[in-house]
Amino acid sequence: MSAHDRRTSTPELALRIAAFGIIAFGIFAVLFLRLWFLQVLQGDQYTQQANENRARVVRIAAPRGTIVDRNGQDGAGTFVDNKLSTVVTLQGDAISPVDVRTINGWGQRRGRHDLAVDRLTERLLTPEDARDERRIRRLSPAERRRRQARAESRATARLRKDRVPDLKVSRDATPALRRTLRNVGELLDVSTARLYERVVSGVVQVSYAGVALNTKDVSPAVRNYILENPRRYPGITVTKEYFRQYPDGALSAQIFGQVGEIGDEQLKDPKYRGLVQGQRIGQSGLEYEYDSFLRGRDGERRIEVDAANQPTGRVTETPPTTGDRLRLTLDERLTRVAQTALRRQIGERIDVKTGRRAGGAVVAMDPQNGEILAMASHPSVDPGIFNRISANRLRRLTSQKNGEPLFNRAISATYPAGSTFKIVTASAGLMSGQISTSSTQGAGQCLSFGTGSRFCNAGNAEHGNQNVTDALVVSSDTFFYQLGWDLYPRSGSPLQRWARLYGFDRQTGVDLPGEAAGTIPDAAWRRSRDVEERACRKQRKIDDCGLVAELGTPYRQGDNVNLSVGQGDLQMTPLQLATAYSGLYDRGGRVRDDLHFPTPHLGKQVESPTGVLKERFETESARRVRFPAAYKSAIERGLAGAVAAPGGTGTGVFRGWDQGRHRVLGKTGTAERCDKSTGTECDQSWFVGMVEDAERPIVVVATVEDGGFGAEAAGPIVCGVLRSWYGQSPKQVPCSGGSAGD
């Protein structure tokens, strides 16, 4: 074949050129389309990203809304406000998983050790015998505190070999964290070890949340230097943060709750959609319940930087939006009166039963609509200290031995109600037909039931046969013991049924998290406790979990006798008791044929920061229970006599009170919390007082742990609150403790 024959034919060459041209055109078409897509369709997006790459964004925290009382104006009556601080923060995502695991592991070990010390301390404080218990009972508060300190010291010494040593930055922190803290410490003039303590404290409280490293404001120069040197300070931000401050200090601290950085799990909650790590939200109390109103909208400051990461001087800012103001139903002045009276009555008393600081609670409420006018819990603590506090100090402040000052005893603590429960027993007896308003019973100092168990009046008093009204006046135990015994065989468990109708064994629905439901003991409850006890023993592999005295013991008739006077396994909260007594309220002096139970609440309305009304919360309709007016009148006459008639258990407390102007319905209560056969007494003191005033009605409940008779400790507190509410003179109404035996 000749060379000419080996040349490609013209048609074949043309075909190849055409194919190459098509491919080239396709490539250029794809490139063109891609360029068009990037420049036209996504041009704005990439322009925005480019702008963001040359800008540093600083979040501007929004101030949370203030929390004010029902009357607060122009700063007066403010419970919770804000204080602006410059905060140097180590972001949560800048703390490595290794550091988080190290710190959390240490925290768990330290927590177990501290719990072991507390348990050993409690065992060391347990009296050896009845004689020792009587000796402890006679100790002064100062002597009890010294005894407590000695027991803690002995427990700590015994468990010293098991103590978990503190973490050290030189040994336990990763090199990256050490380097960052060292650089920050040089700038803030704080040691690396101290900064690491703050990191440990922050991670122990909330893992992967940001940790504030400074306790004082920093200068603008320090702030700018950190922002200009992000490589030297990785994960460090400087922002203006608003911290909560409390003008009234420890006043009702448990109600308001705490604010803290949002956690990882909370970020997944639709409730917090749009929030990012580092932002602060309400974590407990009213701060949590009304967070969506109180939380404002953060702003931002965008600082333009050049290729060398230096500010160009161009700054744009979107200002934050302040959160709304929350107006409460609380009256600040009345709340302060309640808190002060509670603190003075309890002081530094040590609860004999627990060996810890004694506590108590006060609730004052409008019985017609459930507005809570005052709520106090003791002991308490200024929540402002939690803005920046070490983990060790937090544990000490909130420990059981210090009385758990963050624990709201008004809604979360449950106690036996003592004789304040007798209105329930009276209602059950009347409605079941077991007694009438005129029938009498209860003669004798003591009554014997069943196999000879004796149930006696307080102080072995003899009241004779009485009707239900007179039995309430003097709080005759034998009258109600007999009634509790007689109600047991009746169908439908009338005593338990009426306890539930009065609202016990259920949450009241108050707008606070953490409310307890309490306990109404009956046969089904006793069986369920057996099941829980068996499951607990199996799970923990121990012989006794202490949930029941003896497995298989049924609910007996004698248990109903105890329940009839608010003893035994009955448990209820002070707020439940206030709601129960509110059921008796009638406006205008006309007794109606029903009981009226309002839903307690603290939130009244939401306002703009300048005070413009935005939303008024709707009050839930009261729960009503049919109850004949004649029965209600009989009970109310008994309650009025309890604070005004000769021999009334609360008459001594309200000496000098003008019953004609503001008639008080009252009831004392004394609930046994210790086994008196050992010679130890640690009674729960109760008092309930209600005034059915047409314009300013109120019901007040007070309880004091280890307070003695109801008229001795709780009575003067209730009297003082009522005296303040109605402007009575302390000279005219001294509100001194009574000595009646109930």
CATH of residue 634's domain is 3.40.710.10
Structure confidence at residue 680 (pLDDT): 52
Query: Mean of the pLDDT values across residues 451-474?
Result: 92
Question: Higher model confidence: residue 519 or residue 159?
Answer: 519
The CATH number of whichever domain residue 191 belongs to comes to 3.90.1310.10
- At 44-63, the pLDDT tens digits run 655 555 554 566 676 788 89
Q: Mean pLDDT check: name the lowest of 260-274, 295-309, 559-573.
A: 295-309
d(CA 112, CA 94): 28
**Whole-structure pTM over 0.85, yes or no?**
no
The number of folded domains in the chain is 4
- Answer for the pair 362, 715: CB distance below 8 angstroms, yes or no: no
Question: Higher model confidence: residue 95 or residue 6?
Answer: 95
Q: Are residues 367 and 508 in the same domain?
A: yes
Half-sphere exposure of residue 672: CA atoms within 13 angstroms, side-chain side: 16
d(CA 602, CA 370): 9
Q: Are residues 341 and 257 in the same domain?
A: no
Q: Are residues 114 and 83 in the same domain?
A: no
Beta carbons within 8 Å of 515's beta carbon, 6+ residues apart: 411, 412, 507, 508, 573, 575
Structure confidence at residue 661 (pLDDT): 92
What DSSP character marks residue 645? S
Query: Which of these, 425, 426, 61, 397, lies nearest to 250 by C-alpha position?
Result: 397
19 exposure class (CB count in 10 Å sphere: 0-12, 13-18, 19+): exposed
Beta carbons within 8 Å of 150's beta carbon, 6+ residues apart: none
Starting at the earlier edge strand, list the strands of the sheet with 372-378. Answer: 372-378, 360-365, 698-704, 684-691, 664-671
Structure confidence at residue 422 (pLDDT): 98
Place of tokens 């440990």: 200
Residue 736 lies in a domain: no
Residue 121 lies in a domain: yes
Residue 738 lies in a domain: no
Residue type, 195: L
- Answer for the pair 334, 718: CB distance below 8 angstroms, yes or no: no
DSSP 136-201: HHT--HHHHHHHHHHHHHHHHHHTGGGPPPPP-HHHHS-HHHHHHHHHHHHHHT--HHHHHHHHHH
Is the pLDDT score of 678 beyond 50? Answer: no
Query: Which of these, 686, 674, 676, lies nearest to 716 by C-alpha position?
Result: 686
Give CA separation, 483 vs 178, 435, 436, 442, 561, in Å. 72, 8, 11, 9, 8
Structure confidence at residue 448 (pLDDT): 92
Q: Are residues 660 and 687 in the same domain?
A: yes
Residue 302 lies in a domain: yes
Structure confidence at residue 223 (pLDDT): 86
End-to-end Cα spacing for the chain: 132
Q: Are residues 537 and 680 in the same domain?
A: yes
- Answer for the pair 234, 94: CB distance below 8 angstroms, yes or no: yes
Q: Are residues 659 and 562 in the same domain?
A: yes
Q: Mean pLDDT check: name the lowest of 85-89, 179-183, 301-305.
A: 301-305
Query: Mean of the pLDDT values across residues 592-598?
Result: 96
Helix (H, G, I), strand (E, B) or coil at 387: helix
Domain boundary among 110, 137, 168: 168
Residue 735 lies in a domain: no
- Answer for the pair 648, 665: CB distance below 8 angstroms, yes or no: no
Cis peptide before 628 (omega within 30 of 0): no
- At 621-674, the pLDDT tens digits run 899 999 999 999 999 999 999 999 999 999 999 999 999 999 999 999 999 876
Q: Mean pLDDT check: name the lowest of 151-155, 359-363, 581-585.
A: 151-155
Q: Are residues 587 and 714 in the same domain?
A: yes
Beta carbons within 8 Å of 508's beta carbon, 6+ residues apart: 411, 515, 575, 576, 579, 599, 600
Element (H, E) at 30: helix 10-36
- Answer for the pair 444, 478: CB distance below 8 angstroms, yes or no: yes
Tokens matching residue 311: 């500010």
Q: Are residues 40 and 71 in the same domain?
A: no
Tokens matching residue 223: 């702030």
Domain boundary among 328, 346, 362: 328
Q: Are residues 599 and 472 in the same domain?
A: yes
Beta carbons within 8 Å of 466's beta carbon, 6+ residues apart: 440, 441, 442, 474, 476, 479
Helix 175-188 to helix 192-205 angle, to the nearest 10 degrees?
120
Residue 739 lies in a domain: no
Q: Which domain holds residue 146?
A: 99-168
127 exposure class (CB count in 10 Å sphere: 0-12, 13-18, 19+): middle
- Answer for the pair 638, 665: CB distance below 8 angstroms, yes or no: no
Q: Are residues 322 and 337 in the same domain?
A: no
Residue 3 lies in a domain: no
Helix (H, G, I), strand (E, B) or coil at 722: helix
Phi (first) and psi of residue 129, to 5 degrees: -160, -175
d(CA 196, CA 215): 14
How high is the mean pLDDT of the chain? 86
Is the pLDDT score of 64 beyond 60? Answer: yes
Structure confidence at residue 388 (pLDDT): 58
Q: Are residues 706 and 591 in the same domain?
A: yes
Structure confidence at residue 66 (pLDDT): 95
**Nearest 5°: CA angle at 477, between 472 and 478?**
115
Residue 248 lies in a domain: yes
Q: Are residues 349 and 457 in the same domain?
A: yes
